[in-house]
Amino acid sequence: MTIIKFEPLYKERPWGGSNLGTFFEREIKLESNNIGESWDIVDRNEAQSIVQSDLYKGLSLREIIARDCLTIMGPNWDKEARFPILVKWLDCRERLSLQVHPPDKIASTLQGEPKTENWYVAHATKDAGLFIGFKQVSNKQYFKKALADKDAENLCHRIKSKEGDSVLVESGRIHAIDGGNLILEIQQNSDTTYRVYDWGRVDKDNKPRTLHVEESLESINFNDINPTLLNTQNSVGILTLANCKFFRIKKYSFSKGTKINLKVENIDCSIIHLISGSIQIGKDLIKKGEQALSPFSSNCDVTLLTDSVFLITDQFVNEYNLGGLVSN
């Protein structure tokens, strides 16, 4: 066993589109033109990744960790703990809500879970952009008034996005993804999102979606001013995109025929995210848009079958993630 691949779980969203099928050449059996999310790796009570093939075919991510925790996660992981990372593709045909995820220190008081995430833009239209942080220092009272006046957008910092852009969205950072973005989101295993503003959008029943204004005001970092994007479109070789206490993400961009050993055996569990091209690990192929889990006990020798770009997420088996280390 060299890698483990899972069946994607597709989610309809009012802002979603059809790019997940067309861009990645996937057969999606949902009869909808509003597929906003593909949950490619997830271990939650309400959603479980199912193994596609080989040794664990048909089993859930939760089941295979419980069965073979040492092999998959290594000796320091509690087999009862949830897999600490959730991986999604987001097809944002329209603008998402203006939102925030609660920071560690207050998440539990709000009955939520903290979430730090990283966005990598795989494709963007010419008008695409991202809202992250504020244009200038604000506060609860001023921002709450702007919400009531429907003027919140003018306080938020919008940046034009393009292919290869990457940004770490830490808990507490106000954010929204504008229409025209196809984004790989790598995040803590959390599903707590507080919507503070939804641009006046209504659902099919002409009702506005639920907002979480008070929770958002408690969570937002009002001193988060004019953050920037890391543009990696022309990067060659290895580039670190994010390195926080919850995970590390590196980008690999190499030409056809390159061979790379991604990790030393028995050192780390990691996730491979193929952005473009085609790669082979052992006898297993990974194609554009696919994710794969490389277990702790496996070596990971990659051969690029074409010019390829892929990301590696690792260093997430630690005390900060949900479940944490087993105490000695």
Taking phi first (over 0 means left), then psi (-120 to 50 degrees means alpha), and beta for anything else, what does residue 15 get?
alpha
Task: Specify burial of residue 286 (Cβ count, 10 A radius: 0-12, 13-18, 19+).
Answer: buried
**Position 233, amino acid:** Q
d(CA 12, CA 53): 26
Quick check: 292 and 281 in contact, CB under 8 A?
A: yes
In the numeric block, the tokens 């609660």 are attached to 102
**Side chain identity at residue 317, one-letter code:** V
The amino acid at 304: L
Residue type, 293: L
Q: Of the residues 26, 62, 195, 248, which is catalytic?
A: 195
Indicate if 195 belongs to the active site. Answer: yes
Round to the nearest angstrom and report the end-to-end CA distance of the chain.
Answer: 29
The span from the CA of 16 to the CA of 183, in Å, is 12
> Which residues are catalytic, by number?
195
